[in-house]
Structure 1
Amino acid sequence: MSLDKRDRKLTLFALTWPIFIELFLHMLMGNADTLMLSQYSDNSVAAVGVSNQILNILIVMFGFVATGTTILIAQQLGANQHKSASEVAAVSLVANLIFSILISVVVVIFSDQLLRIMDLPQELIPDAAVYLQFVGGFAFIQAIIMTIGAVLRSYGYTKDTMYVTIAMNILNIVGNYLFIFGPFGIPILGVEGVAISTIVSRFIGLLVITYLLMKRVSFSVNFKTVFELPVHHIKNLLKIGVPSAGEHLAYNTSQMVITYFITILGAEALTTKVYAQNLMMLIFLFAIALSQGTQIIVGRMIGARDYEGAYRRCLKSFYLAMTISTSMAILFSTFSDSLFGVFTNNQEIIKVGGTLLLLTIILEPGRAFNLVIISALRAAGDVKFPTYMGILSMAAISIPVAYVLGVHFEFGLAGIWIAFIVDEWVRGILMLMRWKSRVWMTKGFIGEKAAS
């Protein structure tokens, strides 16, 4: 069985370029916060950076439903099961709304405890707590945006989510400017202002993307009766989403532990890490965009039983992602002084940051393995293997090597970056071997298994 005429129009390029722009703008929003706050104080940058480390774990928890939604809808559209696809969309929206509201409440109540677990320097806690309470308390807005975005992308409407992200970024940057620099007599609020700007821009984005969802997708179910839908939709979402979230959660947890190691090195090292990772995001977003576009296409091919096409598509995307990531890493390393100079005039931060970007030339090709191939494995229903390998690698390689090299042998951030390199390459090679083994072909069409 092959994809129908309409579905064949969803080429990798047509899907990926709007995703790339959207991701770029998401990262630009984070960089805009960092860049604007750097004009306010370096300490505020570090405080927001640590708070975002915690918020990233929330995004992973919300994302497990979005990931399952993307894959299930893609498979069902590939198999021309449009009614089931719309049912999954409705179930995922309601499930993530309930779940995310509960998580947001927990973050507000336990924000101080969460920051103290990170062993944040005392002078950074007030700003970090304000940001975490404000943005974390309204994190459910981002959860719903993520879920609606997953639905729209699965149906091929990647441009819609891109336009919403553009609008959100513009609003966020304008809000940052108003509250950080205080024109027209507006009070300068610093970190609190950045948090307010983030919340308001996301809320407006939610209104717009909800309108687009209602306009683009014909639901075969009334949201009032969503709880009467077959329970296998929830089971399928959990079957894909929970292992996927487990791998992401393991990664983000390891990053939190490693951030704790960095706090031992001092506030300057923490600030350098935030600046370096903001720049690195601009390098690997190409691979992320390719992985998300590939996931949708592979999911549809699996639904259409085109396993050979899925096999070739993943490898082509992987080679392309590795080439682009390596080229971008070399470019950024070449101009590292100028890039770090945008954020700070601290020469020690610029020097250490240059070393980190040099190591990134080795790191990013390894990351490309994992971003693209793991996405394809999930789309094919092979979700447990990446999770098990991810948890094992991060527990056995990333965390201990980061401590030994970065803290014990006092290599600092360079030692921690070497740990990242070893972790990404070991996992990446294992993922490539898994894909080439074609074991994932035995996993089949997830929706069909549950329905049968």
Structure 2
Amino acid sequence: MNHNKFDWGYFLKHIAIIAVPVALQNLLTTTGSMVDTIMLASIGEKAVGAVGLCAQFSSLMFAGYWGFVGGGMLFFSQYWGAKDHDGITRSYGMTLLFMMTVGVLFACLAIFAPEFVMGVYTDKPEIQKIGISYLRIVGFAYPLQVIAMAASALLRSIEQVKIPLYGGIASVVANCFFNYLFIFGKFGLPKMGAAGAAVGTVMAGIVNVLILVACILYKRIPYVLEFSRHFRWSKIYVKQYLEKCFPIICNEVFIGVGNMLVNVVLGRQSEQAIAAVAVFRTLEGLVIAFFSGFSNAASVLVGKEVGAGNHEVAYQRAKRLVYLCSGIIAIACLTLLLIHNPLLHTLGLSGESYQIGTGMLIIYSVAAIIRMGNWAQNDTYRSAGDAAFGSILEITFMYLMVLPFVYLSNFYFHAPFLLVFAFCYIDEPIRYILMQRHLYSSKWIRPVSGPGLATIDAFRQKHGIKVKQKAATSAK
């Protein structure tokens, strides 16, 4: 590749190769969630709201293990660029172990203490009852989701993005099919309502894992099933892995807890508002589906070049990816606003809940362009080895700005619900400015691989970059 002139053809082609399958998979998953919501809407708004709150508990689990996914992808993509196959296998083993620990913990809470979980999220007894019946079953899906997520993260990092897509397609089809059977009690099966949706989620998790394993075996892809090599760790490697993962883990856990506290406020609104929030989260998934494909592309295309020692290429790609992500999100949000009327009605909202849902979508569509720009930059920094900057920034603003504004406006000033909701995004413009300054400083390029470390000093000297850090060594 010519370093003096940016190769747009190569860049856009490889973005499409990585981003499109990931975006399609996430769109399918979100579509499956929408189908769930449509089915549950026929039961009533309370069922929609209860399952929506349970989804927030699942999101907290996701936050708990996503730190290890982010850290793992940092190593996967850089070692892939460096062609260090042993490094990829070891990184995967450690990533899966830590993720599964989190998944099993949340599964135990859902299965054995659902009353406690629902009591945290809402004070509405009828909604709690529905949520408890859902959690007791869906907890069995959590370890399956962890296995699928870990494998998918590795496969995307080594540019095998079609296999997770195949698993996602099969999973969504299975979820819709089994939901139909068990929610409504078809073909002589019991009519389980919201609990039937949980059965569908478990069955979808089983199908997803089976498809992933079958494709990996068929294509003879290494790393994922090489169990004997997953745990060949040295003390130096474990230390380096945890040092890189720790800021991401803190980010995801603290932000996950912060979002839970925000959801506690949203879960103590009127039943109409709770239903609107549940539907909004489903539609929000459509926007995130578009974004996540490009975010994965950023992680792989930037991290791969950092790992190979091509730091100038990584820097030029990062700048373009951030703005491209924001542009894609703007298109997605505009499309969502244009079709929001039939969507909200189809998903069971009417009257006051429809008005609230519409207001939430308008607010989010403005905020999401900046929000996803911040997200894209943070993912780019992580893949390049700088896991701390974006994490510290996000945690600081969540606890010093977002949570105080949300809680004070709701409980002290009794502000209208939509204003409280808007305060959830009050920090995004300020963080965007700070993240942009960091992007153009190039200080976020911090390789962990041998080839990356061999060329980083020359890159920093060329650009006059001064970074305070310990002498780095490649973990073997």
Within the candidate set 315, 319, 322, 1:318 is matched to: 322
The aligned counterpart of 2:458 is none
Please tell me whether residue 208 in structure 1 is matched to residue 232 in structure 2.
no
User: How has the CA–CA distance of structure 1 residues 400 and 10 changed in structure 2, closer, same or farther, with 3 Å as cutoff?
Assistant: same
- TM-score normalized by structure 2? 0.87
User: How has the CA–CA distance of structure 1 residues 246 and 34 changed in structure 2, closer, same or farther, with 3 Å as cutoff?
Assistant: farther
Q: Compute the displacement of 1:381 (Å).
A: 0.9
Q: Compute the displacement of 1:336 (Å).
A: 2.6
Q: Compute the displacement of 1:386 (Å).
A: 1.3
Please tell me whether residue 328 in structure 1 is matched to residue 352 in structure 2.
no
Please tell me whether residue 451 in structure 1 is matched to residue 454 in structure 2.
no
Tell me, what secondary structure is at the counterpart of 2:163?
Answer: helix
Measured in 1, the distance between the counterparts of 2:22 and 2:240 equals 25
Q: Compute the displacement of 1:236 (Å).
A: 3.7
Q: Compute the displacement of 1:446 (Å).
A: 5.6
The aligned counterpart of 1:368 is 372
Measured in 1, the distance between the counterparts of 2:360 and 2:94 equals 43
The answer to whether the Cα contact below 8 Å between 2:183 and 2:195 also exists between their aligned partners in 1 is no
User: How has the CA–CA distance of structure 1 residues 200 and 439 changed in structure 2, closer, same or farther, with 3 Å as cutoff?
Assistant: same
User: How has the CA–CA distance of structure 1 residues 220 and 418 changed in structure 2, closer, same or farther, with 3 Å as cutoff?
Assistant: closer
Please tell me whether residue 127 in structure 1 is matched to residue 151 in structure 2.
no
The more displaced of 69-78 and 278-287 is: 278-287
Letter in 1 for 2:114: S
CA displacement 1:268-290 (0-9 Å, x = unmatched): 11111111221122123222211
Within the candidate set 174, 190, 196, 1:193 is matched to: 196
CA displacement 1:139-179 (0-9 Å, x = unmatched): 11111111111111111110110011000000000111111
Letter in 2 for 1:239: E
Within the candidate set 33, 36, 42, 2:45 is matched to: 42
Residues 161-172 of structure 1 mapped to structure 2, 5 A cutoff: 161-172=164-175
Tell me, what secondary structure is at the counterpart of 1:264?
Answer: coil
Please tell me whether residue 284 in structure 1 is matched to residue 308 in structure 2.
no
User: How has the CA–CA distance of structure 1 residues 316 and 107 changed in structure 2, closer, same or farther, with 3 Å as cutoff?
Assistant: same
Measured in 2, the distance between the counterparts of 1:220 and 1:329 equals 36
The aligned counterpart of 2:107 is 104
The aligned counterpart of 1:401 is 405
User: How has the CA–CA distance of structure 1 residues 2 and 368 changed in structure 2, closer, same or farther, with 3 Å as cutoff?
Assistant: same
The answer to whether the Cα contact below 8 Å between 1:258 and 1:402 also exists between their aligned partners in 2 is yes
Residues 53-452 of structure 1 mapped to structure 2, 5 A cutoff: 53-214=56-217, 215-219=219-223, 223-224=227-228, 226-441=230-445, 443-445=446-448, 449-451=473-475
The answer to whether the Cα contact below 8 Å between 2:91 and 2:230 also exists between their aligned partners in 1 is no
The answer to whether the Cα contact below 8 Å between 2:89 and 2:229 also exists between their aligned partners in 1 is no
Tell me, what secondary structure is at the counterpart of 2:309?
Answer: coil
Letter in 2 for 1:403: Y
Structure 2 segments unaligned to the other structure (5+ residues) = 4-9, 454-472
Q: Compute the displacement of 1:102 (Å).
A: 4.2
User: How has the CA–CA distance of structure 1 residues 413 and 305 changed in structure 2, closer, same or farther, with 3 Å as cutoff?
Assistant: farther
Q: Give the number of aligned pairs.
A: 448
Q: Compute the displacement of 1:365 (Å).
A: 1.0
Letter in 2 for 1:420: C
The answer to whether the Cα contact below 8 Å between 1:369 and 1:432 also exists between their aligned partners in 2 is no
Measured in 1, the distance between the counterparts of 2:154 and 2:398 equals 31
User: How has the CA–CA distance of structure 1 residues 100 and 336 changed in structure 2, closer, same or farther, with 3 Å as cutoff?
Assistant: closer
The answer to whether the Cα contact below 8 Å between 1:179 and 1:193 also exists between their aligned partners in 2 is yes
Measured in 2, the distance between the counterparts of 1:189 and 1:197 equals 11
Letter in 2 for 1:451: A
Tell me, what secondary structure is at the counterpart of 1:440?
Answer: coil
CA displacement 1:211-267 (0-9 Å, x = unmatched): 333444224995245434334444344233332132222332222112211233222
User: How has the CA–CA distance of structure 1 residues 294 and 197 changed in structure 2, closer, same or farther, with 3 Å as cutoff?
Assistant: same
Tell me, what secondary structure is at the counterpart of 2:26?
Answer: helix
Task: Say what the alpha-carbon RMSD is for the aligned residues.
Answer: 2.5
The answer to whether the Cα contact below 8 Å between 1:37 and 1:44 also exists between their aligned partners in 2 is yes
The answer to whether the Cα contact below 8 Å between 2:448 and 2:474 also exists between their aligned partners in 1 is no
The answer to whether the Cα contact below 8 Å between 1:87 and 1:221 also exists between their aligned partners in 2 is no
Please tell me whether residue 30 in structure 1 is matched to residue 54 in structure 2.
no
The answer to whether the Cα contact below 8 Å between 2:402 and 2:423 also exists between their aligned partners in 1 is yes
Measured in 2, the distance between the counterparts of 1:261 and 1:110 equals 22
User: How has the CA–CA distance of structure 1 residues 117 and 339 changed in structure 2, closer, same or farther, with 3 Å as cutoff?
Assistant: same
The answer to whether the Cα contact below 8 Å between 1:240 and 1:383 also exists between their aligned partners in 2 is yes
CA displacement 1:16-46 (0-9 Å, x = unmatched): 1001011112222222222211111111111
Q: Compute the displacement of 1:384 (Å).
A: 1.1
Measured in 2, the distance between the counterparts of 1:102 and 1:30 equals 24
Q: Compute the displacement of 1:96 (Å).
A: 3.3
The answer to whether the Cα contact below 8 Å between 1:25 and 1:169 also exists between their aligned partners in 2 is yes
Within the candidate set 17, 22, 43, 1:19 is matched to: 22
Q: Compute the displacement of 1:315 (Å).
A: 1.8
User: How has the CA–CA distance of structure 1 residues 219 and 341 changed in structure 2, closer, same or farther, with 3 Å as cutoff?
Assistant: closer
User: How has the CA–CA distance of structure 1 residues 83 and 367 changed in structure 2, closer, same or farther, with 3 Å as cutoff?
Assistant: same
The answer to whether the Cα contact below 8 Å between 2:23 and 2:290 also exists between their aligned partners in 1 is yes
Tell me, what secondary structure is at the counterpart of 2:385?
Answer: coil
Structure 1 segments unaligned to the other structure (5+ residues) = none
Identity of aligned residues (%): 23
Higher normalized helix content (fraction of residues) = 1
Measured in 2, the distance between the counterparts of 1:236 and 1:131 equals 40
